[in-house]
């Protein structure tokens, strides 16, 4: 019995030590799974695949493996992350905007609370812009407000542009008629050019060709500041104040978080710090920057801490946003 | 313009461009033959390898691969009743019956030639109609797209021989399956039973793999013997017969190519709808529509010419407006931007050489695909005569792998297997699987465009939009035509018997 006691003590200490090791989660030397809830050939997954090896290098991880988990417009992957162990070995990369809006609009499939995810850094974003048809006679938000009829907005469905427009129309007093069901940006753009719709929201790069061709006119930027190429186009933030400003700020924050990395709720602080540092370093890596230019996947990094603050602002504004988003959804049902 | 035409061709005369074109076409053929994969996957997989090369060579690689996938998809539709992609579906209807009758080589020859002729017409169209296509695109809208889908729907009568009720039941089942998932208008989940997998709906390629490929292998297993009951795959006709067929039906090729161009030009109308609409017009304008669905070579020629021409048309919105007309064009757009090209109307002035390089690529890629296709067709035609002990496991494993590869979801493999059972039972009890998939393809397009048309133009849009009204009249006439012909023929026969 006496001989067994030290053995049992040693075993107990070994178990305690291994438990302590597991608790202090570090991704160094580990395999990290990066969930991409988007299609294999899509832009998001291309970003994820491009950045993953650099995160592995800067985090000292054995590997960062991209795992495609499509479904429900990104909801399936986000649900999976919600239930993942918070040890840093499972993180995700997708459109944060879509996840937050799905949750706020009350999507039945959502099992997560997007405000409780731990945000690790943004890889890229691009301001979105409200453009109107060149033949619409509209040149400003004021014109859209005083048309004497609803502003016709062709939409792909309940995506971030649909919700953004619903909030903008609500706070800016633009009477809105959403025609939903269009098949992608090409379809909504053509509807605006031919005059079936008054305007639509799209990314700056996607709208560049039609603006330069004179088919569409930009009237509003949905970004934190004016777009350098179009300094005369105001931002939505400039045109509102008070509670409306809070709502628009929340939308701008959401759109600004677009291509981001995040981890499960209550992610281990050590793993959080490691991953935030590694993602920042990876996105600043000159070799990755060169790769991104060559592959046409521009980077616009933002640290995880800054992204987490945006989430707090979004949470605070959500009581104003939720009724607007749900009313917009109800209007097209 | 002549200078630009020559410069466009000269840019492709470099060793790199030639090699890239050959690699692209060969790779596209292989990807096209694999079920579930198509042009989009082919382009997405190629994209990372396209940086740092000559511009024209890179375009040759991408466009060449994309074009070759189309014929690759037709091969499996014809030989194994396995549509390589959604747009190859219409090839199943008559292509596979031809294989069963020992005319696989002829079907493949007709298919490759029709795709080539369609592709060449698409290229010519792309070259010479850019200045006039803009007003055409602006004149058409959702109500016209709706008419196009309705036109496709009229084909269900062709596959309902014996029992129109069974045909309608099969179509309704297809429509119901298409309704699984988020609706395209409000994003409301339908028939999802709390399962996130079902939120995205049933993948069309996966359902097709099940309904046709898996079901066919089950039937083959139950029946025993080879798919084609001919010793050593002996053929009753040759590849050359198929080539001649395509030339003999040049009018059909021309009509189908124009349809393909139109479908390609319109964002929001998919190539899968184009293939079905082409098949519909071939059946409805044929003096012998009763042959369709039983191995009519016109049923192979029409969809392939449409698909071939579709690519030239598909480039149009990208070049004329700078907006990609479809997913594959969106991927090409990414490649364009990475290469420093901003697509849009100015390409027609400052980048005309490049536009003509693309025209030449479409021409050369189509020629290469057809040449390779015709060279290997006679060998491919023997495959269905393989011993079933080899064929069944081979086709099933490739198809189930394809089902998994479409979205990387194991659930898709289960769905393909389940649809295999459904397809087997439908076949056994003579419910048309063709009608099922036509319902499935067209349901979303009809729902989407009906909703938009009502929202934009009001409830009387059928009569307030002149082009829509004209198209509606055209649909009524072409739908009634076979019935009128049949009535006349029966009257003539009755009169003949009377005298």
- What CA–CA distance (Å, rounded) separates A190 from A91? 38
- What CA–CA distance (Å, rounded) separates B342 from B344? 6
Asked which of A209, A224, A254 is the last residue of a domain, the reply is A254
Q: What is the pLDDT of residue A70?
A: 74
CA atoms B78, B80, B81, B87: torsion sign: negative
Of B318, B336, B96, the closest CA to residue B211 belongs to B96
Is residue A278 included in any domain, yes or no? yes
Q: Could you give the ipTM of this predicted complex?
A: 0.77
**A120 and A263 within one domain:** yes
Residues near B123 by beta carbon (within 8 Å), at least 6 away in sequence: B312, B359, B360, B362, B363, B366
Of B151, B137, B87, B128, the closest CA to residue B307 belongs to B87
Region of residue B207 (phi > 0: left; psi between -120 and 50: alpha; otherwise: beta)? alpha
Testing the interface with A: which of B69, B455, B461 to mutate, by most A Cβ within 10 A?
Answer: B455
Of A84, A82, A81, A92, the closest CA to residue A36 belongs to A92
Q: Report whether B237 contacts B103 (CB < 8 A).
A: yes
A40 touches chain B (CB under 8 A): yes
- What CA–CA distance (Å, rounded) separates A142 from A144? 5
A41 touches chain B (CB under 8 A): yes
Q: B215 to chain A, minimum CA–CA distance in Å?
A: 26
**A224 and A166 within one domain:** yes
- What CA–CA distance (Å, rounded) separates B107 from B78? 7
- What CA–CA distance (Å, rounded) separates B239 from B342? 43
B51 touches chain A (CB under 8 A): yes
The token pair at B275 is 């293939």
**Which residues in chain A are contacts of B197 at CB distance < 8 A?**
71, 76
Q: Tokens 């296709």 belong to which residue?
A: B373
Q: Report whether B199 contacts B192 (CB < 8 A).
A: yes
Q: Report whether B159 contacts B293 (CB < 8 A).
A: yes
The token pair at B96 is 């596979």
8 Å CB contact of B184 and A183: yes
Q: What is the pLDDT of residue A18?
A: 45
Q: How many domains does chain A have?
A: 2
**A234 and A162 within one domain:** yes
Low-confidence ranges of chain A (pLDDT < 50): 1, 15-23
8 Å CB contact of B335 and A329: no
Is residue A332 included in any domain, yes or no? no
Q: B174 to chain A, minimum CA–CA distance in Å?
A: 20
**A145 and A246 within one domain:** yes
Residue span of the structural domain in which A173 resides: 128-254
Residues near B372 by beta carbon (within 8 Å), at least 6 away in sequence: B25, B26, B29
**A261 and A119 within one domain:** yes
The gap from C-alpha B212 to its chain's centroid, in whole angstroms, comes to 16
**A176 and A58 within one domain:** no
Per-position DSSP letters for B53-85, written without gaps between them: S-HHHHHHHHHHHHHHHHHHHHHHHHHHS--SS
Q: What is the pLDDT of residue A16?
A: 47
**A223 and A281 within one domain:** no
What are the structural domain ranges in chain B? Answer: 2-493
Q: CATH number of the domain that A54 lies in?
A: 3.40.190.150
Is residue A292 included in any domain, yes or no? yes
pLDDT tens-digit series, residues A229-284 = 889 999 999 999 888 888 898 888 888 888 999 999 999 999 999 999 999 999 99
**A66 and A143 within one domain:** no
Testing the interface with B: which of A66, A70, A72, A207 to mutate, by most B Cβ within 10 A?
Answer: A72
Q: A286 to chain B, minimum CA–CA distance in Å?
A: 17
On the CB side of B34, CA atoms within 13 Å amount to 20
A 90-109 residues with CB < 8 A to B: 107-109
Average pLDDT, chain A: 85
**A102 and A60 within one domain:** yes
Q: Report whether A193 contacts B141 (CB < 8 A).
A: no
The token pair at B253 is 């090729």
Residues near B126 by beta carbon (within 8 Å), at least 6 away in sequence: B312, B313, B315, B316, B319, B355, B358, B359, B362
**A265 and A223 within one domain:** no
Is residue A7 included in any domain, yes or no? no
Identity of the residue in B43, B48, B196 whose CB atom sits nearest the CB atom of A76: B196
A 45-64 residues with CB < 8 A to B: 46
Q: Report whether B73 contacts B31 (CB < 8 A).
A: no
Give, as one character, the DSSP assignment of residue B319: H
Successive 10-residue mean pLDDT values, chain B, 499 residues? 80 88 90 71 72 80 86 85 77 89 90 91 76 75 86 72 81 92 81 83 86 87 72 70 91 89 71 79 83 89 90 72 63 67 64 81 89 86 81 86 81 93 92 86 86 91 92 86 78 76
Of B48, B76, B83, the closest CA to residue B62 belongs to B48
- Range B399-404, long-range pairs (CB < 8 A, 24+ positions): B399/B35, B399/B36, B399/B82, B399/B209, B399/B213, B399/B214, B399/B217, B400/B209, B400/B214, B402/B34, B402/B35, B402/B36, B402/B37, B402/B205, B402/B209, B403/B35, B403/B36, B403/B205, B403/B206, B403/B209, B403/B210
Q: CATH number of the domain that A156 lies in?
A: 3.40.190.10
Give, as one character, the DSSP assignment of residue B88: G
**A137 and A119 within one domain:** no
Residues near B161 by beta carbon (within 8 Å), at least 6 away in sequence: B290, B293
Identity of the residue in B184, B268, B452 whose CB atom sits nearest the CB atom of A179: B452
- What CA–CA distance (Å, rounded) separates B193 from B199? 9
A145 touches chain B (CB under 8 A): no
Is residue A109 included in any domain, yes or no? yes
% of chain A with per-residue pLDDT over 70? 91
Identity of the residue in B199, B321, B326 whose CB atom sits nearest the CB atom of A109: B199
Q: A150 to chain B, minimum CA–CA distance in Å?
A: 12
A 207-236 residues with CB < 8 A to B: 208-210, 212-213, 215
Is residue A17 included in any domain, yes or no? no
Alpha helices in B81-163 (DSSP H): 90-100, 104-128, 130-139, 142-153
8 Å CB contact of B323 and A329: no
Q: Give buried/exposed letters for B311-322 (b at 16+ CB in 10 A, else e).
A: bbbbbbbbbbbb
8 Å CB contact of A209 and B322: yes
């Amino acid at each position: 019995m006496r001989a067994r006691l030290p053995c049992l003590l040693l075993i107990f200490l070994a178990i305690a030590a291994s438990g302590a090791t597991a608790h202090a989660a570090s991704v160094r030397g580990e395999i990290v799974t990066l969930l991409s809830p988007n299609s294999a050939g899509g832009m998001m997954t291309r970003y994820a695949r491009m950045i993953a090896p650099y995160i592995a290098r800067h985090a000292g991880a054995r590997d960062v493996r991209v795992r495609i988990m499509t479904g429900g417009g990104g909801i399936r992957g986000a649900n999976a992350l919600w239930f993942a162990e918070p040890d840093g070995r499972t993180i995700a990369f997708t459109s944060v905007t879509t996840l937050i809006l799905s949750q706020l609009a009350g999507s039945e499939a959502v099992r997560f609370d997007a405000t409780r995810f731990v945000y690790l850094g943004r890889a890229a974003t691009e301001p979105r812009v409200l453009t109107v048809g060149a033949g619409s006679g509209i040149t400003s938000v004021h014109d859209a407000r005083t048309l004497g009829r609803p502003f016709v907005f062709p939409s792909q469905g309940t995506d971030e542009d649909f919700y953004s427009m619903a909030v903008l129309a609500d706070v800016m007093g633009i009477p809105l008629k959403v025609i939903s069901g269009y098949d992608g940006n090409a379809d909504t753009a053509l509807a605006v050019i031919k005059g079936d719709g008054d305007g639509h929201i799209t990314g700056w790069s996607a709208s560049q060709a039609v603006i330069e061709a004179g088919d569409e006119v930009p009237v509003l930027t949905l970004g934190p500041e004016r777009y350098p190429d179009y300094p005369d186009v105001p931002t939505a933030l400039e045109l509102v104040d008070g509670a409306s400003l809070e709502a628009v700020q929340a939308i701008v924050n959401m759109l600004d978080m677009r291509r981001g990395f995040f981890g499960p709720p209550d992610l281990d602080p050590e793993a959080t710090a490691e991953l935030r540092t590694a993602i920042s370093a990876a996105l600043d890596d000159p070799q990755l920057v060169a790769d991104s230019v060559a592959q046409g996947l521009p980077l616009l990094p933002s640290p995880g801490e800054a992204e987490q603050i945006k989430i707090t602002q979004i949470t605070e504004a959500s009581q104003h946003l939720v009724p607007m988003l749900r009313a917009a959804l109800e209007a097209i049902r | 313009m002549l200078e630009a035409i020559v410069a466009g061709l000269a840019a492709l005369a470099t060793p790199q461009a030639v090699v890239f074109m050959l690699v692209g076409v060969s790779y596209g053929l292989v990807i096209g033959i694999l079920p579930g994969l198509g042009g989009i996957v082919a382009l997405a997989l190629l994209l990372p390898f396209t940086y740092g090369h000559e511009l024209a060579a890179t375009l040759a690689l991408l466009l060449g691969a994309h074009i070759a996938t189309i014929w690759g998809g037709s091969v499996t539709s014809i030989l194994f009743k396995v549509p390589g992609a959604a747009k190859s579906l219409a090839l199943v209807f008559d292509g596979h019956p031809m294989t069963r009758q020992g005319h696989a080589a002829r079907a493949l020859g007709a298919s490759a030639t029709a795709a080539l002729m369609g592709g060449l017409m698409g290229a010519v169209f792309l070259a010479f109609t850019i200045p006039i296509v803009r007003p055409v695109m602006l004149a058409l809208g959702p109500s016209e797209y709706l008419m196009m889908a309705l036109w496709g729907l009229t084909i269900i009568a062709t596959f309902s021989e014996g029992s129109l009720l069974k045909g309608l039941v099969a179509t309704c089942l297809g429509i119901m399956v298409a309704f699984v998932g988020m609706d395209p208008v409000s994003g409301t989940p339908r028939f999802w039973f709390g399962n996130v997998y079902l939120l995205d709906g049933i993948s069309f390629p996966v359902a097709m793999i099940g309904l046709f490929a898996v079901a066919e292998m089950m039937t083959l297993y139950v029946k025993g013997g080879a798919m084609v009951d001919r010793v050593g795959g002996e053929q009753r006709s040759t590849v050359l017969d198929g080539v001649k067929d395509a030339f003999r039906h040049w009018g059909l090729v021309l009509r189908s190519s124009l349809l393909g161009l139109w479908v390609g030009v319109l964002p929001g109308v998919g190539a899968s709808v184009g293939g079905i609409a082409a098949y519909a017009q071939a059946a409805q304008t044929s003096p012998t529509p009763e042959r369709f669905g039983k191995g009519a070579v016109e049923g192979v020629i029409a969809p392939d010419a449409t698909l071939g021409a579709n690519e030239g048309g598909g480039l149009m919105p990208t070049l004329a407006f700078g907006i990609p007309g479809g997913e594959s064009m969106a991927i090409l757009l990414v490649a364009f931007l990475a290469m420093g090209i901003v697509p849009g109307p100015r390409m027609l002035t400052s980048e005309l050489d490049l536009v003509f390089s693309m025209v030449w690529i479409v021409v050369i890629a189509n020629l290469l695909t057809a040449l390779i296709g015709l060279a290997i067709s006679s060998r491919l035609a023997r495959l269905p005569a393989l011993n079933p002990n080899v064929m069944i496991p081979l086709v099933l494993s490739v198809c189930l792998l394809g089902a998994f590869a479409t979205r990387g979801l194991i659930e898709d493999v289960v769905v393909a297997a389940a649809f295999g059972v459904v397809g087997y039972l439908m076949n056994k009890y003579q419910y048309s699987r063709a009608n099922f998939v036509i319902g499935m393809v067209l349901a979303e397009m009809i729902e989407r465009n009906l909703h938009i048309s009502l929202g934009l133009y009001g409830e009387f849009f059928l009569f307030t939009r002149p082009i829509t009204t004209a198209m509606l009249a055209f649909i009524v006439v072409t739908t009634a035509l076979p019935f009128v012909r049949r009535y006349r023929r029966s009257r003539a026969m009755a009169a003949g018997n009377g005298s």
